[in-house]
Structure 1
Amino acid sequence: MSSPSTPTNTSDVLSNLTLPPLTMPRLLGWAAQQYGDKTAIREAGENTSYRQLNDLRRQAGRAFLSMGVKRGDRVAIWAPNSARWIVAALGLQSVGAVLVPLNTRLNASEAADILRRARVSVLLTVAKLEAADPAEMVRAESLPDLTASIRLDADSDIAEQLGWMTFMAKSAEADDAAFIALERAIEPSDSVDMLFTSGTTGKAKGVLCSHEQNIRVFATWSDTVGLTGDDIYLIINPFFHSFGYKAGWLAALITGCTIVPMAQFDRRAVMETIAAERVSMLPGAPSLYEMLLADPERDNYDLSSLRLGVTGAASVPVKLVEDMRDVLGFETVVTAYGLTESTGVVTICRPDDEPQTIASTCGRAMPGVELKCADPQTGEARAPGEEGEVWLRGYNVMQGYFDMPEATAEAITADGWLRTGDIGVMDERGYLRITDRLKDMYIMNGENVYPAEVEKLLYNLDGVAQVAVIGVPKAPQGEVGMAFVVCRPDAELTAEQVKAFCADKLARYKQPYYVEFVESLPMNASGKVLKTELAKQATALLGGGA
């Protein structure tokens, strides 16, 4: 274990940034005063000003209060990006409840598992999601703590679900003085959200972060990347993810820019929206920019308003950074690194960094955050240029995993260092390069996929003796899953059967794209599968690339 005197890299001292109020209800009241009639959200031709947004979140907060939602309760949102998503989140956070965003690609059993373990009392959702019917899931699953379901996409009630306008009308039943008292009682250190992230076992963990952590981290992030109140911010990244929620609409509300939410990615729709709305801020995974660059109709759209791009989640070619600037016209391109357990951000490149640094590193630590590449056993800092496990310490380290004290203790050392499980190298300037990922995790379209979860499922498929899953490169997704399957004697499985089995039980991004049947898996002397050898086999099978 390292001591406070252990050499570490500490980022630049905290800037002179003036922080806004450090609870969500106070932040929105402040934003309404600061930005007034300026447009906060523009959706389907309708503008919601900062004053109106503050009124709406207070109305939603009173509606939650009238339904019995109280401080510390968990309320889930399982829906695509929309203005109502933001209003609902701010409303529940204004009465001290904890936001639990659910991945819209989860199937019913995956979502129900999270709702049960988080003991969610109210669910806000829509009619249909990619792999699930939320209403059917609520009826079919045992969810003893769930008392109400609200439809964000319907004004009127449907069966057992409250329509959005019915829900908002419930605000009239709440005592306004009681609501104001609740708002004022919220402390910056109170938990504000619980984002679920899988661990090496594949079991989802609920990461708790506070009001202050979120606001302080993303006020700093916005200041560092150069987000301003003049920006029109197209948010394609899903709100259930830190990139769409915290680096998305929260950062926008802190800085006073205009949010344009997009429910579903479509590259033509993206270009049309950029041109129509004069979008200046467009963050996303590298594949987003690659698809825009490759679109033969790109020149038919006016993309000249683009100013700021923030990317990460996968390796970034130098050529992509150059093309983002030279072809797409971005003035500023930066890369960053973070994880849910770090409130979303650890390191960021600076706008004046050269393309080689932006492409080959994920920047240096945020102000106020300590960072080191450590010996995983002792915690001692490795010298610049030497690989080590990435450890960080600072105000951005999560409060812990919900109801998982042992997992929290494994992740955070006694002296406050968060062990990320990622392997990296830091140079003399403090710039970090990630060289390996959390165990065997890979990233498809910006979504973390943990092979252990997929492997555990496939062991339940009749005929499977052994299975190992790895990520392999494939454009434009970044990486996709490849399952190596050893069949039981006399079993006659096909790749289509394996994929169909996964399709019934896993979100689409977790399903293996390739299935390869092998006689045996390469293992070391202790019986551990050598995934490095599987990666070599995959390269040979796929001809050096997918």
Structure 2
Amino acid sequence: MQKLDRITVGGLLDRIATKFPDHDALVYTDRNLRYTYHQFNQLCRQVAKGLMALGLKRGEHIAIWATNVPEWVTLQFATGKMGAVLVTVNTNYKTFEVEYLLKQSDTTTLVMIGGTKTSNYINIINELCPELRDSQPGQLNSARLPMLKNVIFIGEDTPAGMWNWRDILAMANQVTDEELDARQASLDPDDCINMQYTSGTTGFPKGVMLTHFNIINNAHSIADCMNFTEQDKLCIPVPFFHCFGCVLGTMTCVVSGATMVPVEVFHPVRVLETIEQERCTAVHGVPTMFIMELEELNKKKYDTSSLRTGIMAGSPCPIEVMKAVVNRMGAREITITYGQTEASPAITMTRTDDPIDLRVTTVGRTIPNVEAKILDPETGAECPPGVQGEICARGYNVMKGYYKMPEATAQAIDANGWLHTGDLGVMDHNGYFKITGRLKDMIIRGGENIYPREIEEFLYTHPLVKDVQVVGVPSAKYGEEVLAFIQPKEGANLTKEEIQAYCQNKIAKYKIPSYVLFTDSYPTTASGKVQKYRLREKAIRELGLEELANIETA
């Protein structure tokens, strides 16, 4: 059994930088940027001292709202040295969601880029904090976000009221190395160091509190399952704001001394170019990403012969896609990981030496030091092999809890420490798991967790909507798409296009219903509860999606 590592994120980076000082730590092929582990560690120390100079205390919350830029990775390990909790913000979030997250998380400092192709972050933050434009950097006094004091901008042309990232680097000389070392030494591996918002299976997004101990040991297990060493180079096109990016990606590289090769914003061509140029040995992605990369390989030849392994995860993995990644991209040791943010995130994983049929049809066995079992949702009794039930997990990887949500935490983690995932699955006689569905009705679209109630609550604000039920329907590209069944108010004439237009720029693009069907009633139980599974079946029939519904996944 793998020995658990009681170290902090800052201590881990020090250890690896001492062991592999001249080895590449972080490479951006399109920026011509390359840091060795020694250089990367020194840069993270500089940022950590800058944050201390800004006045950030151990345990204070600092949010990062950016694509996979170099500053994201640096901040992840800098906060791991000086003890602020890194709160990750989904790059797709719009005003409503950003306000909720910053307020609920008690964030005092926000680090951000200018925006993406579909979102202007500067406009959003100025809409939330109109006081920012007239504030001195560090002295924001916002009515809507009273805890937020600092906004740090990554990029040129710093907007009014914000610090620039370069200011933080310059402030580092106000703090001595001894002061940083003392701060780092005061941290405990059981401190929360990372907070990620997940829709989970109930209600509005919840802040999952993950500790140094959670994520470092999960990364060790992931690295072991992939046979990762300092010789590996991992292409990371999955977003850092998910555990997939910042645990299975960056942290897994650092625990093994491997090289991080991020792609700032996913594009299949950029991924294939990066693999070819840097001779990456591994690549991560949700099934949607791999499908697009395979389509690109049909159009043009790229040299992916350096690939050995990687992880496909985030939503159910179609078996044929797994086979194509092995055969056409050459990733003969590709693995599948199953888990959730609340589990830091991995619970089970296939191994590189598993037979190919198990690697494409299951999500593997439990990772070291983690237990998992299948429980009957009705009785709570443990299910025998081959019988479907809810997957529950226990071990070092289970989160500290949901931030400021003790009741939700108690619902997720029982008195004996078992995390109830809300996912349905079966386990075979050899301990291999298959995911068969979800206990509740969460939608997973292209690796993004979407909770229907959040979209329903939003659509209820439309003046002509009487009632709405949101379900997921199968999609070849994304695994699932959002569908809204809407009951219009009497006499109202609504169209799909009007509903979609109403959502634009108010909720994240991936949450906007791809399909809208109008109805005058919903199927219900005897007690009047809407039967969403029947709505889903009806939608599949009406939209002719039967073939997609029958695609076999692991």
Give the TM-score normalised by the residue count of structure 2.
0.92
Identify if the C-alpha distance between structure 1 residues 545 and 450 changes in structure 2 by more than 3 Å, giving closer, same or farther. farther
Q: Is the 8 A contact 2:323 2:360 kept in 1?
A: no
Q: Secondary structure at the match of 1:120?
A: coil
Where does 1:182-331 land on structure 2 (aligned, <5 Å)? 182-295=183-296, 297-331=298-332
Say whether 1:410 aligns with 2:387.
no
Which amino acid is the alignment partner of residue 329 of structure 2? L
SS at match of 2:513: coil
Q: Following the alignment from structure 1 to structure 2, what is the Cα–Cα distance between the partners of residues 114 and 272?
A: 35
CA shift, 1:355, in A, is 3.0
Classify 1:81/1:385 alpha carbon distance in 2 versus 1 (closer, same or farther; 3 Å).
same
Report if the CA contact (8 A) 1:336-1:349 is conserved. Answer: yes
Are the counterparts in 2 of residues 207 and 401 from structure 1 also a CA contact under 8 Å? yes
CA displacement 1:122-145 (0-9 Å, x = unmatched): 111001235543333333322111
Residue 24 in 1 paired to residue 9 in 2?
yes
- 2:35 aligned partner, one-letter code: T
For 2:328 and 2:301, how far apart are their aligned partners in 1? Answer: 14
In the alignment, the residues of structure 1 paired with residue 366 and residue 284 of structure 2 have an alpha-carbon distance, to the nearest angstrom, of 19
Q: Is residue 2:130 matched to residue 1:128?
A: no
Q: Secondary structure at the match of 1:99?
A: strand
> How is 1:174-189 mapped onto 2 (pairs within 5 angstroms)?
174-189=175-190
1:305 partner SS: coil
Describe how 1:474-513 pairs up with structure 2 within 5 A: 474-513=475-514
Could you give the per-residue CA deviations for residues 41-90 of structure 1, whole angstroms, max 9, x where no partner exists? 11111211100111011100110000110111000000000211111121
DSSP-derived class of the 1:104 partner: coil
Going from structure 1 to structure 2, the CA distance change for 1:504 and 1:46 (only over 3 Å counts) comes to closer
Whichever residue aligns with residue 539 of structure 1, its letter is: I
Q: How does 1:69-108 map to 2 (within 5 A)?
A: 69-108=56-95
> Does 2:396 correspond to 1:395?
yes
For 1:377 and 1:319, locate their aligned partners in 2 and report how far apart those are by CA, in whole Å. Answer: 34
| Paired positions, count | 530
Give the letter aligned to residue 133 of structure 1: N
Match of 1:62 in 2: 49
Read off the aligned partner of 1:77 and give its amino acid letter: I
Deviates more, 1:157-166 or 1:209-218: 157-166
* Distance in 1 between residues matched to 2:102 and 2:482, nearest whole Å: 27
Equivalent residue, structure 2, for 1:148: 150
Residues 76-123 of structure 1: CA deviation (Å, up to 9, x unaligned):
000000211111121122111111010000002211211111111111
Conserved 8 A contact 2:201-2:422: no
Unaligned 5+ runs, structure 2 = 129-143, 549-554
Specify the alignment match of 1:115 in structure 2.
102
Runs of 4+ in 1 over 6 A off after TM superposition: none
Superposition pairs of residues 352-431 of structure 1, within 5 angstroms: 352-376=353-377, 378-431=379-432
1:444 aligned onto 2:445: yes
Amino acid at match of 2:513: P
Deviations 1:350-370 (CA, angstroms, capped at 9, x unpaired): 112233322322111111111
Q: Retained in 1: the 8 A contact 2:470–2:483? A: yes
Q: Indicate the larger mover: 169-178 or 71-80.
A: 169-178
Distance (whole Å) between structure 2 residues aligned to residue 110 and residue 299 of structure 1:
39
One-letter identity of the residue aligned with 1:288:
M
For 1:225 and 1:47, the matched residues in 2 are separated by 24
1:159-193 deviation line (CA, Å, top 9, x unaligned): 21212212210111124322221011111111111
The equivalent residue for 1:33 is 18
For residues 405 and 399 of structure 1, what CA distance do their matches in structure 2 show? 11
Structure 1 range deviating more: 371-380 or 509-518: 371-380
For residues 260-305 of structure 1, the C-alpha deviation after alignment (integer angstroms, 9 at most, x for no partner) is: 1111111112222211111211111112222222226554221111
Work out the CA distance in 1 between the residues paired with 2:199 and 2:311: 24
In the alignment, structure 1 segments of 5+ residues that lack a partner are 1-13
Contact kept in structure 1, 2:94 and 2:124, CA below 8 Å: no
Q: Which residue identity lines up with residue 88 of structure 2 in the other structure? A: P
- Structure 1 CA distance for aligned equivalents of residues 53 and 17 of structure 2: 24
**Is the 8 Å Cα contact of residues 271 and 298 (structure 1) preserved in structure 2?**
no
- Of residues 50, 61, 69 in structure 1, which corresponds to 2:37? 50
Q: How far apart are residue 231 of structure 1 and its match?
A: 1.4
Answer yes or no: is the 8 Å Cα contact 1:108–1:133 preserved in 2: no
Give the match's secondary structure for 1:390.
Answer: strand
Secondary structure of 1:346's aligned partner: strand
What amino acid maps onto 1:236 in structure 2? P
SS in 1 for 2:283: coil
CA RMSD of aligned residues (A): 1.7
TM-superposition CA deviations, 1:294-348 (whole Å, max 9, x none)? 2265542211111113112233233222221211111202111100111101000
SS at match of 1:227: coil
Overall identity of the aligned pairs, in %: 37
Normalised by the length of structure 1, the TM-score is 0.94
Match of 1:11 in 2: none
Q: 1:364 to 1:443 in 2, by over 3 A?
A: same
The letter for the 2-side match of 1:82 is V
Q: Distance in 2 between matches of 1:434 and 1:20?
A: 30
